[in-house]
Copies of this chain bind each other. A is one copy, B any other.
């Protein structure tokens, strides 16, 4: 069983650092598909087919499945399994966390060996005892977590940028998350099963946070519709252009609202992959 840090690096090397966010909104589905959980499944499978040879990962965003009730959760697991069958790594974006036995339940819900999911996004607010149950599954099952460190939204600074001594909260947190990750490094890459979420919309912070978390894969959201560019994400990568994935959702999913949505998604993913590879040439 390959540790997650190594598996992610292998997959990026075979494809690109592109991560496709599977955020299916009923109101935005192509007009040829029904606005139902079944329509969502068909849409996600179409996007997966279109991008499976280009992207390293897909990142289904749990909220968009939960909002469809239990039928949506059924589709969520079906979509994850389909993506796995096409060779993609699957990052469940749930921003979950809790304490004690509840945290164990979340870890089993998404990172047990039988789930078609490779990694889960988690929140750090509860501290290290809420990370241990996830870490245990990562080590046992070759899974990963991505911990929120600096998010891409406008008000992220209200808590994340607060001054804590000589540094900001997110800088302090980054060192804590790096320490969580050091217990499980991939032997091929020295990359951890623990990763960090750092938004493309804060390129200066991204640059410094890269130095604070040298062993952690970065999941960089905010590319495309949120305004992040290839130049912005460059500093989130390690030397030789390794150690990060860049997520785009709307700019790929909804590249066309017409019948050519699959081709348009493929083309958008190809453009994004090229933009990132170009900017990493001298990294």
A→B interface (CB under 8 Å): 23, 25, 61, 63-64, 66-67, 69-71, 73-74, 76-77, 93, 95-103, 105-106, 108-110, 123-130, 148, 151-160, 162-165, 169, 172-173, 176, 226
Contact = CB atoms under 8 A, between A and B. Distances in A.
Given A105-B63, A123-B125, A99 B163 contact: no
Contacts of A73: 66, 69-70, 73
Contacts of A169: 159, 162, 164, 169
Contacts of A151: 99, 125-126
A129 B105 contact: no
Contact of A124 (B69, B101, B125, B153): B125
Nearest 6 interchain pairs by C-beta: A127-B155, A127-B158, A63-B105, A70-B74, A99-B153, A70-B73
B123 A95 contact: yes
A154 B74 CA distance: 35
A169 B156 CA distance: 15
A113 B98 CA distance: 26
Nearest to A124: B159
Contacts of A162: 164, 169, 172
30 contacts: A23-B102, A25-B101, A63-B96, A63-B103, A63-B106, A66-B73, A66-B105, A69-B73, A70-B71, A73-B73, A95-B97, A95-B98, A97-B123, A99-B151, A124-B125, A124-B159, A125-B160, A126-B148, A127-B154, A127-B155, A127-B159, A127-B160, A128-B155, A129-B153, A129-B154, A130-B155, A159-B169, A162-B164, A163-B164, A164-B164
A98 B63 contact: yes
Contacts of A130: 153, 155
Contacts of A100: 153, 226
A23 B100 CA distance: 12
Given A70-B76, A127-B156, A127-B160, 18 more contacts: A25-B101, A25-B105, A61-B98, A61-B105, A63-B103, A66-B106, A66-B109, A67-B106, A69-B77, A95-B98, A100-B226, A126-B156, A127-B153, A127-B158, A128-B158, A130-B155, A162-B172, A169-B169
Nearest to A74: B70
Nearest to A75: B70
Given A151-B126, A154-B129, A108 B159 contact: no
Given A126-B155, A153-B99, A70 B70 contact: yes
A80 to B, nearest CB: 11
Given A155-B130, A158-B127, A159-B125, A64 B176 contact: no
